[in-house]
Amino acid sequence: MPRSFALGSHFENFIDEQLRSGRYNNASEVVRDGLRMLEDRENLRQIKIAEIRRSIEESRQDGRTTPVDEVLIRLEAKYNGMSDKPETQGGE
């Protein structure tokens, strides 16, 4: 079923440029190609999200975890220790 969309002058000009280049025969071809690219990008995004979720789940199942409180204590000690050291100049 035909639809109508307001693209704005930027995209209308872009479509016109694509038609002038001869790469496309009509505006519908330009829009379809753009939608295919968007669909591909979204599919890749979903794949990446699934991989991240799978990786998180594998990490949870691994059993080698450190409680966040312990990590924070270590980081605070590390950075507090760094700020307590006197700065040296010129390799002293």
Q: What is the largest CA-CA distance in the chain?
A: 78
For residue range 16-51, list pLDDT tens digits in order: 999 999 999 999 999 999 999 999 999 999 999 999
* Higher pLDDT among residues 83 and 2, named by residue: 2
Give domain limits for the chain.
8-83
**Burial letters for 33-53: b for 16+ Cβ neighbours within 10 Å, e otherwise?**
eeeeeeeeeeeeeeeeeeeee
**Between the CA of residue 72 and those of 1, 4, 13, 30, 75, what are the distances in Å?**
58, 55, 53, 52, 5
* Higher pLDDT among residues 91 and 48, named by residue: 48
83 has pLDDT over 80: no
Q: How many other CB atoms sit within 10 Å of the CB of residue 27?
A: 14
* Percentage of the chain exceeding pLDDT 90: 73
pTM of the model: 0.61
pLDDT for 70: 93
